[in-house]
Amino acid sequence: MTFAPAGSPPPEVSVIIPCLNEAGNAALYPQTLFAPLDQAGFSCEIIFSDGGSSDGTADLLAGMAAARPGVRLLRSNGPSSFAASIARAVPACRGRYIAFLEADLSFAPLDLARLLAAAKALNCDCVCGSPFLGAFEGLPPARRLLTGAANLLLRLRFGRAVTSYTQIFKLYRAEVLRQLHFQNSGFTLDAELLAKTLARGYKVAEVPVTMTARSRGRSKLDAAGETFSCLRLIARGVGTV
């Protein structure tokens, strides 16, 4: 993989990583993120979008951005949501495709190559990395049950052909993603964007991947709040906007 610095030809993939108080994970990115992507075989840029970290995450990422071409950091002026962090980063992307990764790297960065290969081979507008077709490793039973139930309800509402609505690990054709309006402020945004992609008739495919449990830091998931947000999305639908 070749990191694409500013001023160079646009990369194939822009990778957005929303971050909030992830210093423990960020400190390891040279080994856990950059090294795998160096093996991935495509050009990319990485855009870290910090949501107002108070643990030094943004300073760590700023140092990496200064030292490595093709890595950028976007900071918020104050605390911001997961969705706001992603929305802030999308206009800054230069790639033909835009992919999302969680800051705890619960999905393997190297699997981005498989999502990109599927997008090209099948001429897809969105490719989802699906642990429902692959595997979950180390997730607590309660989290696994909640995730399974949410995705089942979303499949019944928006389309059964897709298994992985709530997982962030997705790759979109850039011009498609930029047409979608962001309404949810939390992690339900993942499902909202996919549901809107399906509603507009864009082509979606899935690739089996493994999702591993977080090993460092604290999850930002508000289970009760996200459950309510998911049910609200199911109730109101998305139309074609």
Structural domains of the chain, with CATH: 2-236 (3.90.550.10)
Model confidence over 223-234: pLDDT tens digits? 566 677 788 888
The pLDDT tens digits of the residues spanning 34-65 come to: 999 999 999 999 999 999 999 999 999 999 99
Condensed to tens digits (0 to 9), the pLDDT of residues 73-126 reads: 999 887 788 889 999 999 999 999 999 999 999 999 999 999 999 999 999 999
pLDDT of residue 3: 62
- Residue 13 burial by Cβ neighbours in a 10 Å radius (0-12, 13-18, 19+): buried
Q: Identify which of 176, 174, 156, 175 has the alpha carbon closest to the alpha carbon of residue 165.
A: 156
Q: How far apart are CA 110 and CA 41, in angstroms?
A: 9
Residues in Cβ contact with 50 at an 8 Å cutoff, skipping those fewer than 6 apart: 19, 20, 57, 58, 61, 73, 74, 75, 76, 85
Report the percent of the chain where pLDDT is more than 70: 91
pLDDT digits (tens, 9 = 90+) for 11-34: 999 999 999 999 999 999 999 999
In this prediction, residue 174 carries a pLDDT of 98
pLDDT, residue 219, reads 62
| Higher per-residue pLDDT: 240 or 194 | 194
The secondary structure element, H or E, covering residue 67 is helix 57-67
